[in-house]
Structure 1
Amino acid sequence: MSRIAYVNGRYVRHAEAAVHIEDRGYQFADGVYEVCEVWRGQIVDERRHGDRLERSLRELSIRMPMTRAALSQVMREVLRRNRVRSGFVYLQVTRGVARRDHFFPSPDTPPALVVTARNVAPETGDRGAETGVGVITVPENRWDRVDIKTVGLLPNVLAKQKAKEAGAKEAWFVDADGFVTEGGSTNAWIVTKDNTLVTRPAEHGILKGITRQVVLDMIARNGLSFDERPFTVKEAKEAKEAFITAASTLVMPVVRIDDTAIGNGYPGELSRELRQQFHDVSEMDPV
């Protein structure tokens, strides 16, 4: 079966899907995106992803390409046509197509919308969680507004490629003061020796992850000790546990940072418990 994509009002074969060469997403990275997990025929945390999409668009003064209800229907149609029951649905909105100019185009320029979907077996992530993953640390070199989920991801791409070449899954950015900000595509967490979960505040300097918020909900529901504050690389390497969170990884245990094993070098108990509980706490909407 051919994969199907939605591109600016049309459902087309994935192999033939294309955008205009003067789409501002291509020319300027002038756009935003969201990725939602699809789990057993349900879209995970669709409402929260939609809220964040709208916020990102507002911050860049880009109009929503259609109503939330219409966008939800497009997502479901793409999932249906691709027969995706477990995997991901990706949506990207740019400022649209216009003559290349740094200034915004005419206000009546319609935003451009692309939606794609792909199957990924849940067992794929579960296998990684059984052994845990490694991360490396890299200097923070991104622009100041990483709270906006833009398609301008070149520093992230370079950091994650460096991690791959080092045999790791993720790269953690480290600011000038030695504190971890976040991963190339994930939020960063540690568990201290006294079982306190720690992650950086999301008001500034990191993306407010949807999976991060679900973990916060689990922390509240289970009455776990929590401290929302920055942590250093040194503190992370001395932690009892560490993990990363994102729609693409859920709660993924970290067992190595650079060349240092975390805890006993195996996925920690708290990280594994949070992963197991995740879909019981997240919001589910049938496809």
Structure 2
Amino acid sequence: MSRIVYVNGRFLPYEEATIPIMDRGFLFADGIYEVSAVLNGRLVDNEAHLARLDRSLAEIGIRNPHDAAGWTRLEEELVARNGLKEGVVYMQVTRGVAERDFVFPSDGTPPTVVMFTQAKSIAANPLADRGAKVVSVEDLRWKRRDIKSVALLAQVLAKQHAAAAGASEAWMHEDGFVTEGGSSTAFIITQDGRIVTRPLSTAILPGITRRAVMRLAEEQGLTVEERAFTLEEAFGAAEAFFTSASAFVMPIVEIDGRRIGGGQPGPLTRRLRGLYLEMAAA
């Protein structure tokens, strides 16, 4: 059976889904997206994802076409129609279809809404057992990275560079400091057990999994520091990991060819992953 997707009020087979070429998301990357994880057929930390979607839309002046309850109903129906047990729901809202012009359309053009599911192994991802390799790249993105824009070319190039190097993720850096991963939040664990991640600002996306992991760590009495860190500090870390909706907590065993810790997933990272999995399955 074909995968069912959602386009502008309709659930339909993937093969029948189309968007006009004048859609501003296609022409200008004028849109916002969000991704929620699904575990055991249930959405994970979904309210926080929808709140971030609403914020991102507001930041670029696109009307949110649904409230949180409406989005959730659509997501749950899409999950049910596709029989998705584990994976993600992707949501995208663009400024809609209008004649190509840099200025926003002034005729009340309705936004375009697209949603689809992707089956992924998240909880039992083999990469979590062996650990991920990461390479560093210069951060070439725009200055409003706190907005979850569909303009992802810099991240595409960074992730492709990582793939060509046999790595699973790219850590972007700017002015000597790590900003974030191509599609994730960067963390290190110092030799004395402090969990370090960059503070929120317009330089990084406010990660939903980031926030949950920090809360879980603090509930366990672990020390969390929000501060910038350099690649050199990361090379000397006891452990490192990244977080995202599609990876949860992913241990890092190598950065730029240098082994991190003992070259295997560290005990504190494993503990944090276990805590997150417990939360997600609750």
Normalising by structure 1, what TM-score? 0.96
CA contact (8 A) 2:33 2:149 kept: yes
Partner of 2:239: 241
Partner of 1:166: 165
Partner of 1:83: 83
Q: Which amino acid is 1:254 matched to?
A: I
Q: Which stretch has the larger CA shift, 61-70 or 178-187?
A: 61-70
Q: Which amino acid is 2:208 matched to?
A: I
CA contact (8 A) 1:34 1:90 kept: yes
String of CA shifts for 1:115-151, please: whole Å, max 9, x gaps. Answer: 10122234552x1110000100011110000100000
CA contact (8 A) 1:93 1:111 kept: yes
String of CA shifts for 1:242-280, please: whole Å, max 9, x gaps. Answer: 000000111000000001000110000000111011033
1:236 is displaced (CA, Å) by 0.1
Q: Distance in 1 between matches of 2:66 and 2:95?
A: 13
1:211 is displaced (CA, Å) by 0.3
Partner of 1:105: 105
Q: Per the alignment, in what secondary structure is the counterpart of residue 168 of structure 1?
A: coil
1:279 to 260, 277, 280: 277
Q: Distance in 2 between matches of 1:222 and 1:83?
A: 35
Q: Distance in 2 between matches of 1:170 and 1:121?
A: 17
Partner of 1:253: 251
CA contact (8 A) 2:39 2:280 kept: no
Q: Distance in 1 between matches of 2:250 and 2:276?
A: 11
Q: Which amino acid is 2:27 matched to?
A: Q
Does 1:201 pair with 2:163? Answer: no
Q: Per the alignment, in what secondary structure is the counterpart of residue 193 of structure 1?
A: coil
Q: Distance in 2 between matches of 1:148 and 1:283?
A: 28
Normalising by structure 2, what TM-score? 0.97
Which consecutive unaligned segments of at least 5 residues does structure 1 have? none
Equivalent pairs, count: 282
Does 1:49 pair with 2:58? Answer: no
Q: Distance in 2 between matches of 1:143 and 1:278?
A: 31
Moved over 6 A (4+): none
String of CA shifts for 1:176-219, please: whole Å, max 9, x gaps. Answer: 2x100000000000000000000000123000100000111111
Partner of 2:174: 175
Q: Distance in 1 between matches of 2:18 and 2:124?
A: 29
